[in-house]
Amino acid sequence: MSELRRSVFLAVGLSSLLIASTGCSTFNRDWKRAAGSPSPANGDGLIGRWEGNWKSDANGHTGHLRCLMTNTRTNYMARFHANFWKILFFNYAVPLQVKQQDGAWQFSGEANLGWYAGGRYEYQGTATSTNFHATYRAKSDHGTFDMIRPK
């Protein structure tokens, strides 16, 4: 790897780490606050905290994943906090279109995570009140999210 390329990679990595750590504290604060919130009165079992793992089917990478799901009246918002290589964290939000069918929620959405994270990602999945499964696809990556309600 050339010295210039290594320097650019290091600068982008450190910038991402600083940005992610700032977002991390906001996500962690909201995560703790959501732990004390009662279940939604309208019976929307999709809202709230989810925890599990992500796995890339393209390269085998995997990591811990948490999600805070909210209903924004026009759509749902999934805020993800993903762990990569056990030392890097990445936070991002995905607006989801959701419909309830046969006791489960079907959802889809997309988000542009920037060139450094792989660009535009598309998501599709299904959730019950206890299990969340989704697939993701980008130009150079694809894989799965599997989560349950944290204890």
For the chain, which residues make up each domain, given as ranges? Answer: 3-148
Tell me the average pLDDT across 50-61.
Answer: 96
3-148 sits in which CATH class? mainly beta
CA–CA dist 123, 87 (Å, integer): 25
pTM of the model: 0.79
Q: List the one residue out of 76, 88, 96, 87 whose CA is nearest residue 117.
A: 88
49 touches 34 (CB < 8 A):
yes
Q: 59 pLDDT exceeds 80?
A: yes
Q: What average pLDDT score do residues 66-77 get?
A: 92
Q: pLDDT grade, residue 89 (50/70/90)?
A: confident
* CB-based contact 51:40 (threshold 8 Å): no
Q: Indicate whether 5 pLDDT > 80.
A: no
Q: Which tokens in the block code for residue 33?
A: 């606050």
pLDDT at 16: 44
